[in-house]
A and B are shown apart, each in its own frame.
Chain A
Amino acid sequence: MAAGDAVARLLRDEGAHVLATLIRVTGDITLAEDAVQDAAVRALERWPRDGVPDNPRAWLIVAAKRRAIDVVRREARRAGKETAAVALLDPVPEPAGAVRDDLLRLVFTCCHPALSAEAQVALALRTLGGLSTAEVARALMVPEATMAKRLTRAKQKIALARIPYRVPSAGELPGRVRGVAATIYLIFNEGYAAGAGEHLVRVALSAEAIRLARLLVGLLPDEPTALGLLALLLLSDARRAARLDERGGAVLLPDQDRTRWDTAMIREGVVLVGTALRRAPDRPDPYVAQAAIAACHALAPSYADTDWDAVVSWYDVLLTVQDTAVVRLNRAVAVAERDGPEAGLALVEGIDGLAAYPWWHATRAELLRRVGRASEASAAYERALGLEMNDVQAGHLRRRLSDLDG
Chain B
Amino acid sequence: MPTYIALTYTAEVDWKQPEYADAIQEYVAFDEAHAAVLRGGHALYPTATATTVRVPGGKGGEPIVSDGPYAETKEALTGFYLLECADLDEALAVAAKMPAAWHGTVEVRPVHPSLES
Chain A residues at the B interface, C-beta cutoff of 8 Å: 112, 114, 160-164, 166
Contacts and interface: CB of A to CB of B under 8 A. Distances in A.
Contact of B109 (A112, A161, A163, A166): A161
B110 interface: yes
Contact of A164 (B88, B108, B109, B110): B88
Sorted from nearest, which 6 A-B pairs have the closest CB atoms? Answer: A164-B87, A162-B87, A161-B110, A161-B88, A163-B88, A164-B89
Nearest to B2: A162
Nearest to A172: B89
B87 A163 contact: yes
A114 B92 contact: yes
Interface of B: 2, 86-89, 92, 108-110
21 contacts: A112-B88, A114-B88, A114-B92, A160-B110, A161-B88, A161-B108, A161-B109, A161-B110, A162-B2, A162-B86, A162-B87, A162-B88, A162-B110, A163-B87, A163-B88, A163-B89, A164-B86, A164-B87, A164-B88, A164-B89, A166-B89
Contacts, number: 21
B58 to A, nearest CB: 30
Given A164-B88, A164-B89, 13 more contacts: A112-B88, A114-B88, A114-B92, A160-B110, A161-B88, A161-B108, A161-B109, A161-B110, A162-B86, A162-B88, A162-B110, A164-B87, A166-B89
Contacts of B92: 114
Contacts of B89: 163-164, 166
Contacts of A166: 89
Contacts of B110: 160-162
A112 B87 CA distance: 13
Nearest to A162: B87
Majority SS at the chain A contact face = loop
B111 to A, nearest CB: 10
Nearest to B92: A114
Contacts of B86: 162, 164
A158 to B, nearest CB: 9
Nearest to A164: B87
Most buried by A among B87, B108, B109: B87
Contacts of B88: 112, 114, 161-164
Most buried by A among B87, B88, B109, B110: B88
B39 to A, nearest CB: 16
A161 B3 CA distance: 9
Contacts of A163: 87-89
Contacts of B109: 161
A24 B3 CA distance: 22
A338 B89 CA distance: 47
A166 B90 CA distance: 12
Contacts of A162: 2, 86-88, 110
A112 B86 CA distance: 16
Nearest to B110: A161
Contacts of A164: 86-89
Contacts of A114: 88, 92
A229 to B, nearest CB: 23
A163 B87 CA distance: 6
Contacts of A160: 110
A160 B116 CA distance: 14
Nearest to B85: A162
A166 B110 CA distance: 19
Most buried by A among B2, B89, B108, B110: B89
A164 B92 CA distance: 12
A248 B2 CA distance: 55
B46 to A, nearest CB: 30
Contacts of B2: 162
A8 to B, nearest CB: 36
A166 B88 CA distance: 12
A163 B109 CA distance: 11
A112 B92 CA distance: 12
A114 B108 CA distance: 10
B71 to A, nearest CB: 24
A162 B84 CA distance: 12
Nearest to A168: B89
B59 to A, nearest CB: 28
A161 B2 CA distance: 9
A161 B109 CA distance: 7
B92 to A, nearest CB: 7
Contacts of A161: 88, 108-110
A162 B87 CA distance: 5
A190 B86 CA distance: 36
A161 B108 CA distance: 9
B75 to A, nearest CB: 20
B112 to A, nearest CB: 9
